[in-house]
Amino acid sequence: MKYASITISGPVASGTTTAAKALAEKFSLPYKSTGAFFRQYMLENNIPLPNKEAVPDDVERQVDAEFTNLLKDSPGVVVDSLYAGYFTRDMPHVLKVLLTCDKEERIKRAIKRSRTHIETAKDVITRDQAHDAKFRKLYANEGFLDP
């Protein structure tokens, strides 16, 4: 394989976890997910899921740095992370994959995945807005998901 590691980025319910796990299995590489880390952190700290802005900035930066260092120093890993492609833009040994999917399809995917009703599934849009706001606040950057 030409690349040592792979990042899969994309908005909520775009298929990043499915793709990342499949690639990790295909290439026998470890799989890591910032989303899983943050969901666990939010659960342990009683933060409602769509409320990403409630995660302290220092925790967010620390996790971003740890995953960036993992990709920089690791001989091979697949990382599922909304921002991993951005943080590894200067790492030629990392294959960066950006998945895109229109909002209506993502809402359908969220309904199917969560077996929930449309209002709950529309939280994918709320979560996107929270992620975007947090990223701009921390890194003064926007538009990183534009292919």
> Each residue of 16-36: pLDDT tens digit?
999 999 999 999 999 999 888
For residue 124, tell me if it sits in a domain: yes
Note the pLDDT tens digit of each residue in 79-94. Answer: 999 888 888 989 999 9
| Enclosing domain of residue 89 | 5-139
pTM greater than 0.85: no
16-19: list long-range contacts, CB under 8 Å, 24+ apart: 16/80, 16/82, 16/99, 17/80, 19/80, 19/97, 19/99
Which tokens in the block code for residue 75? 């001989």
For residue 144, tell me if it sits in a domain: no
CATH at 48: 3.40.50.300
Contacts of 124 (CB under 8 A, 6+ apart): 11, 12, 13, 103, 106, 107, 110
Q: What pLDDT does 27 receive?
A: 95
For residue 145, tell me if it sits in a domain: no
For residue 66, tell me if it sits in a domain: yes
Question: Nearest to residue 48, comparing CAs of 60, 39, 57, 56?
Answer: 39
For residue 147, tell me if it sits in a domain: no
How far apart are alpha carbons 29 and 76 in whole angstroms?
6
Report how many domains make up the chain: 1
How far apart are alpha carbons 63 and 65 in whole angstroms?
5
Q: What pLDDT does 59 receive?
A: 85
For residue 14, tell me if it sits in a domain: yes
Query: H helices within the chain, ranges in order?
Result: 16-26, 34-44, 57-73, 84-87, 103-114, 118-121, 123-139
Q: Which of 24-28, 55-59, 91-95, 140-144 has the lowest mean pLDDT?
A: 140-144
